[in-house]
């Protein structure tokens, strides 16, 4: 009898995914290597570059972002400060815009150039044509951070901190803490976090 | 205590219902009949994830669609008229549409004005919880991307979810089988 019930439960478990349909990208897991790191993307300075070419000796931070999203706008100063500051500590940083400008006009290349200049970005801000890199990462929204260690393994995935709206009330600086740990050759204490964000505008077929 | 046949029946019935719902989701849906519970002015209540789920599990609900949106989210705005149409068509048949705005509190007036323009004059919600707690409180599988939708069946379980917008036909195909 026990074996019979176990078999039925196993069948139910196998069948469950059929009933629980879901349309959400599955992001790469902790410990994964950097995907699509040889894909050439156009930087705001007009040059083509890859994630591989911006890797840092201590680690690499890849942030999916854009121009229009209110969550990005609320966090962009903090993101810029982190990127600019940790670049001097051996962390390579790249900001990637994967939105289809056909669906989000403000996210076109000219807008990126203006944004990069206004913010004083000291790291690349590139166009992910056709969202191929976002799809390879399983990125779903902006902003979304993926931090890799010196060996190129994912050690942090998630958001910036715990208060998008009020920087002065931030209690948990998740990304900064993770960057600090990776720059010191250590594993971050918190490796996965979440926040709301703007869904990436993938090109509609 | 349930015997072998009872347990087997329970499990196979559950499987059959789940599989039927999954298969029916791609098989079209009945035509519009109209009817709804529309009030004159939209009410906008601050809500945590637990309160949102409680609203989706209100007595008499055959199926609920939770949709988390924002006024600044273009795909959310594009999808909105279809959500309201879905409510108008199926509210009388047991559908509960639980709209949750992720706008900040200071946008409350803009949210209310948008809901009114869209004719969404039934009770609606404004997220009132830290992001991570709200996201995982609704469904840990959700990345946090907007828009996000969740279908709750009559047992109160989340049986489907997705990120991004869907067409009216796709929404109808997912929900109509649960309203029979």
Chain B CB contacts of A26 under 8 Å are: none
Cα distances (Å, whole numbers) of residue B79 to A67, A181, B84, B166: 22, 42, 9, 7
Chain A CB contacts of B177 under 8 Å are: none
Residue pair A193/A176 in contact (Cβ under 8 Å)? The answer is: no
Q: Is the pLDDT of residue B28 over 70?
A: no
- CB contact (8 A) between residue B8 and residue A27: no
Query: What pLDDT digit, counting tens, does each position of A51-63 carry?
Result: 999 999 999 999 9
Is 3.30.1240.10 the CATH number for A27-199? no
Query: What pLDDT digit, counting tens, does each position of B96-148 carry?
Result: 999 999 998 889 999 999 999 999 989 999 999 999 999 999 999 999 999 99
B152 near A CB under 8 A: no
B142 near A CB under 8 A: yes
Domain segments of chain A: what residues? 27-199
Q: Is the pLDDT of residue A25 over 80?
A: no
Q: Is the pLDDT of residue A158 over 50?
A: yes
Chain B CB contacts of A11 under 8 Å are: 11, 15
Chain B CB contacts of A19 under 8 Å are: 18-19, 21-22, 159
Average pLDDT, chain A: 90
Query: What pLDDT digit, counting tens, does each position of A28-39 carry?
Result: 999 999 999 999
Q: Which one of B70, B71, B143 would you mutate to disrupt binding with A, by most A Cβ within 10 Å of its Cβ? A: B143
B154 to chain A nearest CA, in Å? Answer: 15
- pLDDT reported for residue A204: 75
- CB contact (8 A) between residue A12 and residue B11: yes
Query: How crowded is the C-beta side of B28, counted as CA atoms within 13 Å?
Result: 3
Cα distances (Å, whole numbers) of residue B69 to A164, B56, B154, B166: 17, 16, 23, 13
Query: What pLDDT digit, counting tens, does each position of B64-74 carry?
Result: 999 999 999 99
- pLDDT reported for residue A203: 82
User: What band does B15 get if pLDDT is binned at 50, 70 and 90?
Assistant: very low
Q: Give the pLDDT mean for A163-186.
A: 96
User: What band does A23 get if pLDDT is binned at 50, 70 and 90?
Assistant: low
Residue B102 carries which DSSP code? -
According to DSSP, the β-strands at A197-199 and B145-146 are parallel
C-beta atoms surrounding A67 within 10 Å = 25
Q: Give the pLDDT mean for A14-28.
A: 57
B139 near A CB under 8 A: no
B132 near A CB under 8 A: yes
Q: Is the pLDDT of residue B39 over 70?
A: no
Element (H, E) at B145: strand B145-146
Q: Is the pLDDT of residue B161 over 80?
A: yes
B13 near A CB under 8 A: no
- CB contact (8 A) between residue A18 and residue B75: no
DSSP lists the bridge partners of residue A62 as: A94, A146
Chain A residue with CA closest to B157: the answer is A20
Among residues 139-198 of chain A, which lie with CB inside 8 Å of chain B? 140-141, 144, 159, 162-165, 193-198
Q: Cα–Cα distance between A100 and A117 in angstroms, integer?
A: 21
Q: Is the pLDDT of residue B171 over 60?
A: yes
User: What band does B7 get if pLDDT is binned at 50, 70 and 90?
Assistant: very low
- pLDDT reported for residue A3: 53
Percent of chain B with pLDDT over 90: 73
Identify which has the larger pLDDT, B127 or A18: B127
Helical residues (DSSP H) of A20-108, grouped into ranges? 51-54, 70-87
Q: Is the pLDDT of residue A90 over 90?
A: yes
Q: Which one of B2, B68, B75, B131 would you mutate to disrupt binding with A, by most A Cβ within 10 Å of its Cβ? A: B131
- CB contact (8 A) between residue A1 and residue B136: no
């Amino acid at each position: 009898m026990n074996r019979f019930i176990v078999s039925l439960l196993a069948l139910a478990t196998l069948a469950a995914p059929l009933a629980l349909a879901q349309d959400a990208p599955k992001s790469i897991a902790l410990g994964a290597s950097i995907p699509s790191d040889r894909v050439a993307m156009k930087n705001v300075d007009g040059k083509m570059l890859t994630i591989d070419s911006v890797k840092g000796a201590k680690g690499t931070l890849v942030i999916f972002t854009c121009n229009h999203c209110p969550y990005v706008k609320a966090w962009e100063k903090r993101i810029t400060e982190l990127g600019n500051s940790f670049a001097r500590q051996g962390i390579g940083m790249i900001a990637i815009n994967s939105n289809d400008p056909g669906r989000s006009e403000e996210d076109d290349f000219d807008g990126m150039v203006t944004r990069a200049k206004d913010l004083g970005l000291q790291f690349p801000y590139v166009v992910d044509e056709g969202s191929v890199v976002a799809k390879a990462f399983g990125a779903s929204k902006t902003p979304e951070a993926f931090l890799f260690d010196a060996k190129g393994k994912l050690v942090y995935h998630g958001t910036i901190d715990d208060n998008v709206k009020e920087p002065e009330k931030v209690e948990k600086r998740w990304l900064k803490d993770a960057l600090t740990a990776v720059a010191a050759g250590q594993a971050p204490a918190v490796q996965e976090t979440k926040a709301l964000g703007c869904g990436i505008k993938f090109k509609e077929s | 205590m349930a015997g072998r046949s009872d347990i087997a029946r329970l499990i196979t019935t559950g499987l059959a219902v789940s599989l039927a719902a999954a298969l029916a989701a791609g098989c079209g849906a009945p035509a519009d009949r109209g009817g709804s519970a529309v009030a004159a002015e939209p009410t906008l209540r601050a809500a945590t994830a637990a309160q949102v789920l409680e609203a989706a599990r209100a007595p008499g609900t055959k199926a609920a669609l939770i949709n988390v949106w924002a006024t600044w989210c273009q795909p959310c705005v594009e999808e909105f008229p279809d959500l309201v149409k879905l409510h108008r068509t199926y509210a009388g048949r047991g559908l509960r549409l639980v709209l949750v705005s992720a706008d900040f509190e200071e946008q409350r007036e803009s949210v209310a004005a948008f809901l009114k323009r869209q004719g969404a004059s039934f009770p609606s919600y404004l997220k009132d919880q830290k992001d991570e707690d709200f996201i995982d409180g609704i469904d840990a599988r959700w990345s946090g991307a907007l828009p996000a939708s969740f279908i709750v069946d009559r047992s109160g379980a989340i049986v489907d979810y997705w990120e991004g917008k869907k067409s009216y036909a796709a929404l109808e195909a997912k929900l109509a089988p649960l309203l029979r």
